[in-house]
Structure 1
Amino acid sequence: MRWKVHGTREIYDSAWVRLRLDDVTLPSGLRIDHHVIEFPKASVGAVVTDTDDRILLLWRHRHITDASGWEIPAGWAEPDEDLAEAARREVLEETGYDAEHLTKLTVYHPLSGISTMTYTVFHATEVTKIGEPEVDEADRVAWFTPAEARALLAKGQVPDGPSLTALGMYLATTAG
């Protein structure tokens, strides 16, 4: 049940995002124009835990959705940057903590029906506070037990999709 792509036309291109229009035929035979959002940089995030299995989250407001909530540290990898190092850099920039050890937790496509985005999530451990978060990155940073993190998810206090997925994956497969 594959879509047949007849051609692609670029609509918009920037360092942050590209938009293209694909001419496709669906399995039913219907031919349509389908918009595709391309992200030129890889996306990374990290579920950060300490020796007590607490989870480090940051509180942010997102102007696009006009929503605030708890998130994991996340961002883009630079071209040719190692994904684990990119996640480590994002943890430091957004929380003020340096993570000594990162292991891959999962890789997924958060918007697979319309976007090429690939999101890689790491589990960051052996953390040390070495500074403050960058002023534009977080309103506050706090530690939560796994039970508290589950409650945040249940109450809708993690509205960011990649954070929601990463936390859910961590809590389902790793946390006590």
Structure 2
Amino acid sequence: MPFKETTLSKETIYKGKIIEVEKHLVELPNQQTSYREVVKHNGAVAVCALTPDNKVILVKQYRKAMDKVLLEIPAGKLEPGENRKSAAKRELEEESGYIADDLKLIGEVYGSPGFCDELISIYFTDSLKEGQMHLDDDEFVENVLYSLEEVEKAVSHAQINDAKTLIAFQYLLSNYNHSK
């Protein structure tokens, strides 16, 4: 059985600074119809960065949707037409004050594919030099450095709930030993 849903009509029901929400009338595989609400997002990037002394750069940031502070790897949204790797370097420096000489793409994920098309590109770097933070006017973050052991402990104690960060940590803990 084909799984494709064909859009019969759509309307934009909200257009904001970061997202657009569309309401789609779709034909289902069984020829019935249904509605889908789709959040359109330009995409995002995230960087799992390991300092020369094997500390992982994290940011504490209040997230209104959860109404609490989360601990995450540096991340941010893409500007229209922006190259993903360049955006990742920009976001890392803006949020952490570190500049990445090189980035390795470790994966791309859809965070909430049931209703949102946001694609997040997750990068890794261990080639850093000092730079300067450049936070947006409405951005308030605090940098935190975790050892690999602290990362393992935070993950095992469910202290980190952010999907992109957990995916990055899976890569990190699978590819770096504690003596490096």
Q: TM-score, normalised by structure 2?
A: 0.85
1:156 counterpart (148, 151, 158): 158
Q: How does 1:19-58 map to 2 (within 5 A)?
A: 19-39=21-41, 41-58=42-59
The code of the aligned residue for 2:76 comes to G
1:13 counterpart (12, 15, 19): 15
CA distance in 2, matches of 1:21, 1:57: 36
1:84 is matched with 85
2:123 is matched with 122
Q: CA deviation at 1:107?
A: 0.8
2:69 is matched with 68
Is the Cα–Cα contact under 8 Å of residues 4 and 26 in structure 1 kept in the other structure?
yes
| Unpaired stretches in structure 1, ≥5 consecutive residues | none
The code of the aligned residue for 2:112 comes to L
Q: What secondary structure, in the 3-state scheme, does the structure 2 residue paired with 1:80 have? A: coil
Runs (4 or more) in structure 1 with deviation over 4 Å come to none
Q: How does 1:98-117 map to 2 (within 5 A)?
A: 98-117=99-118
Q: TM-score, normalised by structure 1?
A: 0.87
CA distance in 2, matches of 1:111, 1:67: 19
CA distance in 1, matches of 2:23, 2:68: 30
Q: CA deviation at 1:137?
A: 3.5
CA distance in 1, matches of 2:4, 2:172: 32
CA distance in 2, matches of 1:69, 1:12: 27
| Unpaired stretches in structure 2, ≥5 consecutive residues | none
CA distance in 2, matches of 1:126, 1:137: 25
CA distance in 2, matches of 1:83, 1:69: 23
1:137 is matched with 140
CA distance in 2, matches of 1:85, 1:137: 22
**Residue-pair matches, total:** 173
Q: What secondary structure, in the 3-state scheme, does the structure 2 residue paired with 1:156 have? A: coil
Cα RMSD of the aligned pairs, angstroms, is 2.0
Is the Cα–Cα contact under 8 Å of residues 94 and 132 in structure 2 kept in the other structure?
no
CA distance in 1, matches of 2:77, 2:144: 22
- Deviations along 1:28-68, one digit per CA (max 9) or x if unpaired, are 444211100001x2200000012344311111222321122
The code of the aligned residue for 1:11 comes to I
Q: CA deviation at 1:10?
A: 1.5
CA distance in 1, matches of 2:146, 2:21: 38
